[in-house]
Chains A and B, each alone.
Chain A
């Protein structure tokens, strides 16, 4: 696929998408405090450019899989955000009918393969999706996301070797947001250049600035083209930052408020808006229109989630097996 030009339309879409993701997550935080969302809740604030750049590089049938910080990726891929919100609220109209919750969003229709709660567990799955594409002669690529913490799991290292050995059409994307819970990258290894982990496998690899979607797009396009043309896997270390705590109960003693502020100066949404303004891609009025649209959509998500009901309790036995009359033990 030829490289796309980053046009006015792209910038405007990026702005609207990223703003939606940000406001959606902010709303989730609020709903969590109201106890309408429970369990763990991991927000994507600050990391939006990593997704925006990737989405532009994706073609029809390309796949994505990630960990538990996973509310907005499916939305970016086309899943109805109202259904994602309903899932977060545990409701019947949610993407998993309320069974998966915050850490487990899936959409077969939109090629979003989850939403995984065990750190590193999704990494071999991502390569497996790619294996199946190659096996079936599809020209698709799988984006396999993981955190800076997750790449320390054996699952990555075994998968990296196999993906190279079998030349799989997969891009491994480390979203290096500086921390795995309270553990900074410096404290997890003897070096901080995560991308270099590709070198031992002779996997093409490099660091990428993750605060600007243009840069992410370039790197993604290059890696996905390579994979699509039979050139095998790539490892990208995309350097980004998480603004919020790890989950909702995190006192964040491991970093300073100033550090957070430093990164917020490079905020991807502000950056895109600056481009829009300086290139006069939209008037203030038009930007305001986008803002209002986003606000209204987020409000609709909440209304939809509130209105949807909890699935009947006995749905606990539904959809566990493909075999519909599976004989569960009930006494």
Chain B
């Protein structure tokens, strides 16, 4: 099969959907003439023209709200945030308007819109540029939230998001855009809300999503050498969450570690933990562990940042702790 970069998967998904439906447009800072701040819309201005690939000034609140309005009037916008840190400027339009419109209007107005861009840390970018808001958006009814971890999932899920008739938050990573992966020629769509077992194993379940899954893969290899087989579940979607997939795996392994690049209080791991104790309490052989970022803003310095990020050795230790090994 051919291999493409994550950024190419993003670009292909958007381009295919724009060829298919002229109501779809792409709007955001540097998406057109600059080909995307991270080159995820390379060539799209040339193909679709400036009517449909639209550069904006730095005015997130404005162009987000305008796109929600456009979605109320027949269009299917894709709004790019240069990073989701900057979506904070626009979050009122997402939470109070996009997420609520269908319900508030008694079902009259659905909002078929995709908000996409990179999330979480990308090296030493410090406090305002390293945030993961997956659990913030996932907390809000009315939204769907997708966080793919490889080019194949990215393309299939982004196409699904663009075709979806509800508002979808689609979160990528600067540190994944260059990642390569197998992506078939031709069209495919992946279902929203379905997790994927990225590695099968019998001893401990690791539930994770997004780029931090790479740490789980690393841990799995190291642990395999010690005879511990972890099962890695990639949630792919964090609203709705595929609880069944997680519970099924836990019923098999009886042990669960959640890995998430986010602050700990009320994050996705917390939610998974609640549901697992609710539905698989008797299957658990050990308390559930979670590995997240430190409970602080992200620091700049490399040493503090390494401490702040979810750590490989902590993950390995957590897996072993659920097996009462050290």
Contacts and interface: CB of A to CB of B under 8 A. Distances in A.
Interface string B24-64: 00000110011001000000000000000001011111100
Given A91-B301, A117-B128, A329 B58 contact: no
Interface string A220-253: 0000000000000000000000000000000001
A139 B304 CA distance: 40
Interface string A94-114: 001111111110000000000
B30 A317 contact: no
Interface residues of A, number: 48
B128 A99 contact: no
A320 B296 contact: yes
A152 to B, nearest CB: 4
Given A39-B123, A118-B85, A153-B58, A98 B300 contact: yes
B295 A328 contact: yes
A180 B57 contact: yes
Interface residues on B, range: 35 or more
B240 interface: no
Interface in B278-295: 290, 294-295
A313 B290 CA distance: 20
Given A38-B302, A149-B58, A182-B30, A317 B296 contact: yes
A118 B89 contact: yes
Given A40-B129, A99-B126, A154-B61, A181 B86 contact: no
Interface string B216-242: 000000000000000000000000000
Contacts of B304: 98-99, 310-311, 313, 315-316
B299 interface: yes
A189 interface: yes
A39 B30 contact: no
B307 interface: yes
Nearest to B82: A181
B265 interface: yes
A101 B297 CA distance: 13
Contact of A98 (B55, B58, B290, B299): B299
A261 interface: no
Given A40-B125, A90-B124, A329-B265, A316 B294 contact: yes
A90 B300 contact: yes
Interface string A165-200: 000000000000000111100011100000000000
**Best-buried of A90, A120, A181, A188 by chain B (most CB within 10 Å):** A90
A311 B303 contact: yes
Given A99-B126, A103-B126, A39 B300 contact: yes
B200 interface: no
Contact of A90 (B290, B295, B301): B301
Interface string B160-190: 0000000000000000000000000000000
A154 B66 CA distance: 14
A97 to B, nearest CB: 8
**Best-buried of B88, B126, B297 by chain A (most CB within 10 Å):** B126
A6 to B, nearest CB: 35
Contacts of B88: 118
B296 A119 contact: no
Given A182-B30, A316-B296, A316-B308, A39 B125 contact: yes
B306 interface: yes
Nearest to B318: A331
A135 interface: no
A154 B58 CA distance: 9
Interface string B72-97: 00000000000001101100000000
Contacts of A119: 58, 86
Interface in A37-62: 38-40
B59 to A, nearest CB: 5
A314 interface: yes
B303 A181 contact: no
A316 B299 contact: yes
Interface in A280-318: 310-317
Given A100-B127, A119-B86, A183-B33, 6 more contacts: A101-B126, A117-B129, A180-B57, A188-B57, A315-B299, A316-B296
Interface of B: 29-30, 33-34, 37, 55, 57-62, 85-86, 88-89, 123-129, 264-265, 290, 294-297, 299-304, 306-308
10 contacts: A96-B300, A98-B304, A104-B300, A181-B37, A183-B29, A313-B306, A315-B304, A316-B294, A317-B295, A331-B290
6 closest A-B pairs by CB = A101-B300, A98-B301, A90-B301, A313-B307, A152-B57, A188-B57
